[in-house]
Amino acid sequence: MTSDRSQADGTPVPLLTGTARRTHDDSPRTAALFERLVELDEGPQRDAVRDELVRAWLPMAHRIASRFRDRGEAMEDLRQVAALGLVKAVDRFDPGRGAFESYAVPTITGEVKRHFRDRAWALRVPRRVQELRNQVRLARRELTQRPGSPEPAPADIAARTGLTEDDVATGLAALESYSTLSLDTELATDDDAYSLADTLGVTDPSYDVVVDRVAVRKALRRLPERERTVLYMRFFQDMTQSRIADELGYSQMHISRLITRSCAHVRREVLGERECPTPSSGSSAA
Q: Look at the domain 206-270 and name its fold.
A: Arc Repressor Mutant, subunit A (1.10.10)
Predicted pLDDT of residue 190? 66
Q: Which CATH class is domain 23-118?
A: mainly alpha
Looking at residue 25, its pLDDT comes to 56
CB-based burial label for 126 (10 Å; 0-12, 13-18, 19+): exposed
> Which residues are within 8 A (CB) of 279 and not within 5 positions of it... i.e. 6 or more apart?
223, 224, 227, 261, 262, 265
Domain ranges in the chain are 23-118, 127-180, 206-270
Question: For residue 199, what pLDDT is reported?
Answer: 77
DSSP assignment string, 158-182: HHHHT--HHHHHHHHHHTTSSS---
Q: What is the dihedral of CA 237, 239, 245, 247, to 10 degrees?
A: -50
Can you give the pLDDT at residue 246? 92
Predicted pLDDT at 20: 40
pLDDT given for residue 220 in this prediction: 86
Contact 69, 75 (CB under 8 A): yes
Q: Which of 31, 80, 24 is nearest to 53 (CA)?
A: 31
Please list the ranges in the chain whose pLDDT falls under 70: 1-26, 72, 119-124, 177-181, 188-191, 273-286
Record the pTM. 0.44
pLDDT of 26: 59
